Amino acid sequence: MPPIITVQNLRKTYGPTVAVDDISFEVAEGEIFGLLGPNGAGKTTTVECLQALRQPDSGEIRVLGLDPRRQARELRKLIGSQLQESALPDRIRVWEALDLFASVTPRALDWRMLLEQWGLAAKRRSSFSSLSGGQRQRLFIALALVNNPKVVFLDEMTTGLDPAARRVAWDLIRAIRDNGTTVVLVTHFMDEAEKLCDRVAVVDKGKIIAADAPQGLIVQHAGEVRVIFTTDVADIAWLEAVPRVDRVERKGLMVEVRGSGPVIAYVAAALVGHGIIPGDLRVEQPTLEDVFLKLTGHSAGD
């Protein structure tokens, strides 16, 4: 299947600031594609170039076969946008905004259904300025979906949502994907990227430094598994010789074994073999956050 979005050597500067240095990627139809990266990495700039909201300095972009530079108007009708920063008139009511944004295309969804889905039915007649941060965010997501887009861009969709609302949002986004919509998601939440995205690109300083399925990234870049338990047996140096073990550290009673792959099975067997049966043996699998920290050299959000 041909990709629905292709980006080749995208570059965008603001005066001396290089926001996007050189970014290339493809998104397949029906995929949830994530862009992950520290603040100022160039994620918003990238997706806004794709949505014809900013003019790139150079590079080739195709979204649904259209060039955002030259076919902006056609393109905007086919895509949905939830922008990282935007607003509505203070005194507009929730239903008025949805009704207005639905009027741009005959393909639009029934906005009453969206109100229900995104938990805004009770706020139907409330003015925009009276909504809480999370309610505004949900309204913006609903507005991004109301024109029944083929590709939807969500820039920090769940920022400001409570944990329950985030779960609901994930389920709804998956359902939208299952109906054939392609989703491009910018996020700072590692769990969101890990659970929701089919593929993730890690962006840093205007470049993509890794791109793969979340599990693929984890295996490739943060393969280290940690096995942790406590024991009062003093001599555990023999653990170093157990298959798949790379390193053993001891902090008081706590032992931390670092290794790869099925290390937990070997360690457990060896412990039992030595007559050590710890009650608190646990394994910590690496997460996308470990990948992120390793690749970008700093933690998410700074």
Ligand X SMILES: Nc1ncnc2c1ncn2[C@@H]1O[C@H](COP(=O)(O)OP(=O)(O)OP(=O)(O)O)[C@@H](O)[C@H]1O
Residues that bind ligand X (CB under 6 A): 14, 17, 19, 37, 39-45, 84
Contact (CB, 8 A) for 227 and 257: yes
Q: How far is the CB of 80 from another protein (least distance, A)?
A: 8
Q: How far is the CB of 52 from another protein (least distance, A)?
A: 9
Q: How far is the CB of 246 from Mg ion (least distance, A)?
A: 37
Q: Among residue numbers 94 through 113, which ones bind another protein (CB under 8 A)?
A: 96, 99-101, 103-105
Q: How many CA atoms lie within 13 A of 218 on its CB side?
A: 19
Between strands 245-251 and 254-259, the pairing is antiparallel
Give the nearer residue to Mg ion in terms of CB position, either 55 or 260: 55
Does residue 184 sit in helix, strand or coil? Answer: strand
Give the nearer residue to ligand X in terms of CB position, either 34 or 259: 34
89 binds, among Mg ion, ligand X, another protein, none (CB under 5 to 8 A by kind): another protein
Distance CA 50, CA 7 (A): 8
Distance CA 238, CA 230 (A): 16
Give the nearer residue to another protein in terms of CB position, either 128 or 292: 128
Compute how many other C-beta atoms are within 10 angstroms of the C-beta atom of residue 145: 25
Give the nearer residue to Mg ion in terms of CB position, either 84 or 105: 84
Q: How far is the CB of 104 from ligand X (least distance, A)?
A: 26
Query: Looking at this protein, which amino acid is placed at residue 219?
Result: V
Q: Among residue numbers 62 through 101, which ones bind another protein (CB under 8 A)?
A: 73, 76-77, 81, 83, 85-89, 91-92, 96, 99-101
Give strand pairing partners of 227.
Answer: 257, 283
Instruction: Name which position in 44, 45, 147, 231 contacts another protein (CB under 8 A).
Output: 147
* 14 in contact with another protein (CB under 8 A): no
Distance CA 124, CA 74 (A): 30
Contact (CB, 8 A) for 142 and 149: no
Distance CA 69, CA 75 (A): 10
Residues lying near another protein in the complex (CB under 8 A): 51, 53, 73, 76-77, 81, 83, 85-89, 91-92, 96, 99-101, 103-105, 143, 147
